[in-house]
Amino acid sequence: MPAVLGISAYYHDAAAALLVDGKLVAAIQEERLSRIKNDPSLPVRAAEACLRLGGLPATALDRVVFYEQPFAKLERVMLQLVRTFPRSWRQFPRALASQLGTKLWVLDQLAEALGVDRKKVECVEHHRSHAASAFYTSPFTDAAVVVVDGVGEHASTSLWHGHGRTLKQLATIDFPHSLGLLYAAITAYLGFAVNEGEYKVMGLAAWGSPRYQDAFAKIVRLHNDGSYELDLRYFAHMTDTQLGFGPALEQLLGPRRPPGLRWDLASDRDRHYADVAASLQVTLERALLGLTRRACELTGATSLCLAGGVALNAVANARLLREAPLENMYVHPAAGDAGGAVGAAILASLELGTPLPGPLQSAALGPAIDPARAWDLATSLGLHPRRLDDPATVCAHAIANGKIVAHARGRLEWGPRALGQRSLLADPSDRATRERINRVIKQREAFRPFAPAIRERDMADYFIGSTNAMTPFMTTVAPIQPSMHEQLAAVTHEDGTARLQTVTPAKAPELAAVLDALTNASRPPVVLNTSLNGPGEPIVASAEDALGFFLRHPVDCMLLGDIWLERAKAP
């Protein structure tokens, strides 16, 4: 049974993924174990955890595969620096230190860190890793595949045809033209951190009006064949990788928003920035529509797989499925760089002759909570834990009574979305609860939405549309039925939609049990679901992380496996 470990690292969101005989048995982001948000470092902790879950020593691995080609990336970086000299002179020391200091020798580092033969360590192309992560874990045997991110070795966008075991590249758009870097530049312009604040921009867009589309038509030109081109006068991602935009962008859109200021969308100042975000969102959607239509035309496929960091834009994904010539669409739950670890592992596994991995049934691919450890820790901290015979019913009763429940059960989720294994759950109708979570627990901007989790069979009663291959992984949005706006007031975004998760016992058994218990109590089969983490923190992984969260943040209750904690009984 061939065993392959895939690795992504050294940009952001490093991760490891393990396949055994073609089956994805584990996938973990390094940040969940190191507790460093978006940790880019070599994911040794995550790799070791994957091996423990697979019951394998590192010496049993047939391949270790890195998700991009270091020498090809070095070539692109050096050419970029030379072509833009002398404007890029400040970037030379940093770029050389980064590429020559660690990234170039990553294959040797992996062999040494894991204790495997260097001959077993190899690399694959960045966008091929992304494309493989999406197509080979999708429910489709024939699909158009579109990859859109910042940049890999050279490509920032690529179109593919996936059929059976084959994955054929059809077209690329190369750096410096990049939708991912466009979105990153506007993220920085709006005062958010790049590689962290892009989802805030998506949330902000719903509060604005896209009145700057003419300005964005100057920033990025969309062509009839689906390709696009940035006007590089507005950008600085070749000379200022921290900011990503130049003075010309501020001349066009107005001064950038200073980071760290409190948002007030009733003010003229912040309404302007919301309108910029809305204009960016519409521009991105139009660009993705062009790419998708072109990919469908080239492949003849009616199913789409989308990957790369841009694929996490749930609003754009919904529009693609609605307006492109598609019957269904799938986005890998860890569509960004973390997901490249899965794709790299799959590619090497297929080379070894293993079966196809098949559709991803669940994102619960990380370690589970150790119940004995959780009990001992909670007891030693004086938290008065008690074991439950029916955890789901107790949890549902608390939610029905307006409590906010920290829900840490089952194996850790893969990807940036909390899907019930490490979630905060609450009543989806209570606006006051939403405000409390935003202001007191999560400490985030008021315009940020929360997501509903609903039983798959009940979706049509609450949302307009039907389930698709994205809804189980919270990678799309759907309009809420007008008659249900009050019942779902805490999870309805400004535009009347929600980024929903449809739940089945097969994909999220613990959360499905809570929704069933709510129904048994004559309550709607829906909960507010947001990630179990505080500001600047990765999602909780272990019993230690969960109990630390409970002590630091004023949630009412915590369900830790079958262990129940209540705030009133905490010290």
Model confidence band, residue 567 (pLDDT cutoffs 50, 70, 90): confident
Strand-pair category, 121-123 with 63-66: parallel
Summarize pLDDT for 336-385 with one digit per residue, the tens.
999 999 999 999 999 999 999 999 999 999 999 999 999 999 999 999 99
For residues 394 and 564, the answer to whether their CB atoms sit within 8 Å is yes
Summarize pLDDT for 462-511 with one digit per residue, the tens.
999 999 999 999 999 999 999 999 999 999 999 999 999 999 999 999 99
Q: What average pLDDT score do residues 6-26 get?
A: 96
pTM of the entire predicted model: 0.94
Residue 565 pairs with which residues in a beta bridge? 558
Angle of helix 371-380 relative to helix 543-552, nearest 10 degrees, comes to 40
Which residues carry out catalysis?
12
Q: What percent of the chain has pLDDT over 70?
A: 92
pLDDT of residue 449: 87
Secondary structure (3-state) at 69: coil
Q: What average pLDDT score do residues 1-30 get?
A: 96
pLDDT of residue 311: 98
Summarize pLDDT for 373-387 with one digit per residue, the tens.
999 999 999 999 999
* More confident of the two residues 75 and 115: 115
Model confidence band, residue 101 (pLDDT cutoffs 50, 70, 90): low
Provide the Cα torsion 21, 25, 31, 37; round to 10°: 110
Domains and CATH numbers, the chain: 3-126+336-360 (3.30.420.40), 174-331 (3.30.420.40), 366-569 (3.90.870.20)
Dihedrals phi, psi of 421, to nearest 5 degrees: -80, -35
d(CA 119, CA 296): 39
pLDDT of residue 570: 46
Q: Is the pLDDT of residue 520 over 80?
A: yes
Distances (CA, A) of 571 to 371, 451, 550: 21, 31, 11
Model confidence band, residue 74 (pLDDT cutoffs 50, 70, 90): low
pLDDT of residue 571: 45
Residue 191 pairs with which residues in a beta bridge? none
Q: What average pLDDT score do residues 422-434 get?
A: 95
Q: What is the mean pLDDT of the chain?
A: 93
d(CA 291, CA 273): 27
Secondary structure (3-state) at 475: coil
Q: What average pLDDT score do residues 204-219 get?
A: 97
pLDDT of residue 56: 98
